[in-house]
Amino acid sequence: MAKEVSNGANQVTSKPPPEPSPLRRAKFFQANMRILVTGGAGFIGSHLVDKLMENEKNEVIVVDNYFTGCKDNLQQWIGHPRFELIRHGRILLTSTSEVYGDPLVHPQTEDYWGNVNPIGVRSCYDEGKRVAETLMFDYHRQHGIEIRIARIFNTYGPRMNIDDGRVVSNFLAQAIRDEALTVQLPGTQTRSFCYVSDMVDGLIRLMEGDNTGPINIGNPGEFTMTELAETVKEMINPEVKIINVENTPDDPRQRKPDITKAKELLGWEPKIKLRDGIPLMEEDFRKRLGISRKN
């Protein structure tokens, strides 16, 4: 049914998004999945591919460079000559907690619109993800594409790029190399860290469920950067020093997901605590760096 919205003397009629193909609920579709993973060789993507491959009925295709960007993915989808046959598929966007910017609401819920500097040094990533969410919903409303949007918070675990600049990988690599742990000032800024296997489980539950999202996927355990550095020092290398360095502009002062929706709609919450995940990541980093733990 079309929905009428009154605006003074004028009436604007808007129609709901087209219904997805009934093939979405067909038994053969549920039994045998063809899954395209863009970015499947990356950190989270590679773990997601591993999990999807555990089901022998799944055909998983990994693409890193051919499809570039959310708009290209969506445009290729609706431009496919057999679109009416493939519209029953779903597309999942891994958005980010960065859409909340430097939040004025804590913890962050999905209905919070964020506090983002649109011209800052970090803004290209923040705004890129925000516009990607916009595109997803526009294609959903106009073309009936089934979408799912996850807002993922800080994630850590094996296969992270050792020198990618993320705080957990930075601290672990520094501790393993006997280097000082560099905490950006003031050190009181907070983050919440989700182990990668928990993240993958949340993404799969979102993709398989009926809720479009956005839904926060993250671990609500909150740590200051100084607390994180002290934890890594204690667990990895008690001999290293912790020093302060200058911070980057627009660094969020706090970040913590409200995962009420994930719990209620997906039956998901993280299982692995930071102190349990760090040793698993340390083992992977030591193998790649070729540095054994001292006796």
Main-chain phi, psi angles of 278, to 5 degrees: -60, -45
The catalytic position among 112, 125, 139, 156 is: 125
Does residue 214 have a cis peptide bond before it, meaning omega lies within 30 degrees of 0?
Answer: yes
Q: Give the integer Cα–Cα distance in Å for 122 and 131.
A: 15
Answer for the pair 43, 163: CB distance below 8 angstroms, yes or no: no
- Please indicate whether residue 139 is annotated as part of the active site: no
Active site residues per annotation: 125
